[in-house]
Amino acid sequence: LANSYADNLGCNKSQLYLCLVSMPEHAHVCKASLHQNESMMQIRNVIALLRNTTPKHFRKGEVLIPAGTTNKDLFFIRKGLVRSYYWDNDKLEEMTFQLYPEYNVVVNNHSFLFDEPSSFTYKAYEQTKVYMIGYGSMIDLASNNPEL
């Protein structure tokens, strides 16, 4: 059965398995799609997205995006926690802006979309596994998969 679904999606069985296993938060979408022909496009989109991501591990304290730099990557947190913060010159201390738990996306919008330096530092608050995708890949994906 899995082979026939994989064939219908233009992928192999292991890619289908990767979709269901590596991103369990989408498994319900994938499984529902397998039972509904009209929803088959959803699993195609998930597989297309997975093909364009790069897994990466960050150790606790390792920086994903340093303040003052331009970053063109989007990070999906599979496991772990990321903290964004800025330096307050008046208080002379780091000020937490936001915490990003598992199954959230980390991206500095100004940097990603407008090539502006990030005002925040994004740092792994604990051992963290992410899936990264670059701006160029996102544009290509959206161009070739308008339903995304």
Mean pLDDT across the chain, nearest whole number? Answer: 78
Cβ(87)–Cβ(64) below 8 Å = no
CA–CA separation, 84 and 107 (whole Å)? 10
Q: At what angle do helices 13-22 and 27-35 cross, to 10 degrees?
A: 130
Whole-model pTM?
0.68
Q: Where are the beta strands (DSSP E) in the chain?
A: 54-58, 63-65, 73-79, 82-88, 93-100, 105-106, 121-124, 128-134
Statement: residue 14 has pLDDT above 60: no
Work out the pLDDT band at 139, boundaries 50, 70, 90.
confident
Predicted confidence at residue 11, as pLDDT, reads 52
How do residues 26-36 score in pLDDT, each as one tens digit? 444 444 444 44
Length of the chain (residues): 148
Cβ(121)–Cβ(98) below 8 Å = no
